[in-house]
Structure 1
């Protein structure tokens, strides 16, 4: 029986380049800009997909993309402090729509205009797009 050389076997935690990825982008002032997403825990991550079909299934048919190798994607996002690349995330939360401003309550007829508040308080709801890493 031959002995297996375990010294050369890679550890599961070793990072291997993921080949050319379909990377979601958005238009910017100088061309395409790589989109950065957030994980469910709130960490920023670059995202790449192994096929255009997977990108479309997750982000929709209208999402623009470019092909980049995984090391190139890391190099683009590293100056932004993004050190994680998520490949083929499976689920996204829909972008939340801003909450409509409540209609100001009509002032009672006996209240003079000068007694009404000039700027009504409008609740602010943050819009977050989160990725669930599969």
Structure 2
């Protein structure tokens, strides 16, 4: 049986798509995934771009990036990414 696909936030460049990474309230770098597009929109807003990935694929993609884990369906809201700075590391509150 195949792994279920997760909804993973990304940012789009001119010719690229890259994962958005976050920091937990304790400062640990983490990947974030959601169980549905609606769950993602509740936290990151309806304009947030996303892709579908399996958990093993997401873990493989962040393995060498100092990411400590994957937070599934985090609670709370995040401020929008600043287009001027392009920074994609935000703090999030994990319930």
Q: Common fold, TM-score beyond 0.5? A: yes
CA distance in 2, matches of 1:96, 1:33: 14
Please tell me the root mean square deviation across aligned C-alpha atoms, in Å. Answer: 2.1
- Larger of the two Rg values belongs to structure: 1
Structure 1, unaligned stretches of length 5 or more?
1-17, 98-127
Change (3 A) 1:96 1:80: closer
CA distance in 2, matches of 1:93, 1:83: 20
Change (3 A) 1:73 1:25: same
Change (3 A) 1:96 1:22: closer
Residue 22 of structure 2: which of 17, 21, 37 is its match? 37
* TM-score, normalised by the number of residues in structure 1: 0.59
How many residue pairs end up in the alignment?
A: 87
Which of the pair is proportionally richer in strand? 2
Residue 8 of structure 2: which of 16, 23, 30 is its match? 23
